[in-house]
Amino acid sequence: MSKHQDHHHDGDDGPLSKLPVPDDVQDAIRTLIRWAGDDPSREGLIETPARVARAWKEYCQGYAEDPGVHLAKVFHEVGGYEEIVLLKDIPFQSHCEHHMATITGKASIAYLPRSHVVGISKLARVLHGFAQRLQIQERLTAEVAQCIWDHLKPQGVAVVIEAQHGCMTGRGVRTPGVAMITSRLMGVFLEDQSSRKEVLSLMGY
């Protein structure tokens, strides 16, 4: 392998490219490669176990954080704004806990503030904090909603996630293009039909 290729691959390894990977973790990935039918000692696969291990550390970096911390800083001066705040179609990636296959999709997150708001990007940070773990879509949806509910104490929270599951599109029944939709509504969005209709229509549902 040329120096140039080495350098290129380092770049592909992302922010954790220097993270040491224990031997037992690399061995586990070699075992999996062998089980899949390939030879982990062939040239193209030599560096793969360390790369896969670092990639998984990155996919799962949500375990290292409490997503609620992103909601700690709130703004009380809202200029009398008492309407829905919505962050729509946030792209995300997660992994299903049943196959460790990718879940890719978009989430819409809304809340009806009581007396304070958060910086809008923080809602996406909460989503990624829970998405960067082994998940099922139903729990991801519920965890994002509950986190916002607990930390902001708003009048209502609505989370709708639409995602494709690699374990379904790439294997098994092979149904590319099929999306799964989950939702979690709390407070006024659960109890009041016109509020629910308003938030879902803002989201495009």
Which residue stretch of 51-59, 145-153, 165-173, 186-194 sits at the interface with Zn ion (rule: CB under 5 A)?
165-173
169: left (phi over 0), alpha (psi -120 to 50) or beta: alpha
- Residue 138 designated active-site: no
Contact status: 196 vs Zn ion (CB under 5 A): no
In the block, tokens 């509504």 appear at 185
99 to 138: interface string for Zn ion, x by CB under 5 A: x---------------------------------------
Q: Which residues of 24-40 are buried (b: 16+ CB within 10 A; e: fewer)?
A: ebbeebbeebeeeeeeb
Burial of 101 (0-12, 13-18, 19+ CB in 10 A): middle
70 is an active site residue: no
Minimum distance, C-beta of residue 167 to Zn ion, in the bound complex (Å): 3
Q: Binding of Zn ion at residue 34 (CB under 5 A)? A: no
The string of DSSP codes covering 2-14 is: -HHHHHHHHHHTG
Instruction: Look up 147 and say whether it is catalytic.
Output: no
Minimum Å gap between C-beta 96 and Zn ion is 3
Considering only 53, 96, 158, 199, the residue that binds Zn ion (CB under 5 A) is 96
Q: How far apart are CA 2 and CA 100, in angstroms?
A: 33
Active site residue 165: yes
Helix (H, G, I), strand (E, B) or coil at 81: coil
Residue list, annotated binding site for Zn(2+): 96, 99, 167
Q: Is residue 167 within the footprint of Zn ion (CB under 5 A)? A: yes
Measuring CA to CA, how many Å separate 184 from each of 2, 111, 151, 180?
51, 12, 16, 14
**Smallest separation, CB 98 to Zn ion (Å):** 4
User: How many Cα atoms occupy the beta-carbon half-sphere of 69 within 13 Å?
Assistant: 6
Shortest Å distance, C-beta 183 to Zn ion: 20
Active-site annotation holder among 26, 132, 135, 137? 137
Annotated catalytic sites, by residue?
Answer: 96-99, 137, 165, 167
| Residues that bind Zn ion in the complex, under the rule CB under 5 A | 96, 98-99, 167
